[in-house]
Structure 1
């Protein structure tokens, strides 16, 4: 397993396959993708999971977190998310947030993100904004409760 920075085009393919396969590829392309840091987790040289981080000062949003359906529940996404959160802290981020699909709230809570009072619907799916105020200790992410299956 290897986690590394990837090109936005690599992220687009997996985003499309996992998140919105019924839509055109352009639906998963973000207007600010050029400003993001895109991370990919590879297993046996195959791209398994992606997430994109957008930093604005001391705040950051991670978006378009997707793991191949056949690889979900095996800990790959958790590994990638942990890596990205650690990187964000090392880059000076104090608050990080995401637009979580409502049915994924419990997953993000394992990483210390909390539900806010902001909710919305997009493309027929319900979302809630979740956030975390980052500790100055990146190693604390490693101590968050979660299951490992990798």
Structure 2
């Protein structure tokens, strides 16, 4: 049986359980709520009507940041995160966004490189996890 995969816009609140379970399970639920969630565009990837991956996109001044890309732990490594990130990049391009970027956990850097994101020289540490800012120019400015 083939899975029916669909990406659609969802509410910020619908992203919270996966964000929490995958990214910060040892922190309180409030920890994964972003102050600007109401301004974001939130996406869910569904397999046979089950939400298995989420990500949030924040567009400001023609630049998009994606945050909280999370795939359910039993579903990781099956390409769902890749499908969702491809959707985000296509969505941003359709919205005429110049650049898309993220704060990538350094142990996930190779994943983002596959999508044309490049490592910047901005690195930081948060709660014992190392991050690097990665970005991709989507539509070159004239």
Give your verdict on TM over 0.5: yes
Match of residue 130 from structure 2? 126
Q: Name stretches of at least 5 consecutive residues in structure 2 with no aligned partner.
A: none
Report how many residues are paired: 136
TM-score by length of 2: 0.94
Quote the Cα distance in structure 2 between the aligned partners of 1:7 and 1:135.
27
Q: 1:31 aligns with which of 30, 35, 47?
A: 35
Counterparts of 1:1-150 in structure 2, within 5 Å, are: 1-135=5-139
CA deviation map 1:21-68 (0-9, x unaligned)? 000000000000000000000012111000000000211100000001
CA deviation map 1:51-92 (0-9, x unaligned)? 000000211100000001110110111001001110001011
Q: CA deviation at 1:123?
A: 1.2
Quote the Cα distance in structure 2 between the aligned partners of 1:7 and 1:123.
27
CA deviation map 1:112-139 (0-9, x unaligned)? 0000000000111000000000047xxx
Quote the Cα distance in structure 1 between the aligned partners of 2:139 and 2:11.
29
Q: Name stretches of at least 5 consecutive residues in structure 1 with no aligned partner.
A: 137-150
Give the SS at the match of 1:30. coil
Moved over 6 A (4+): none
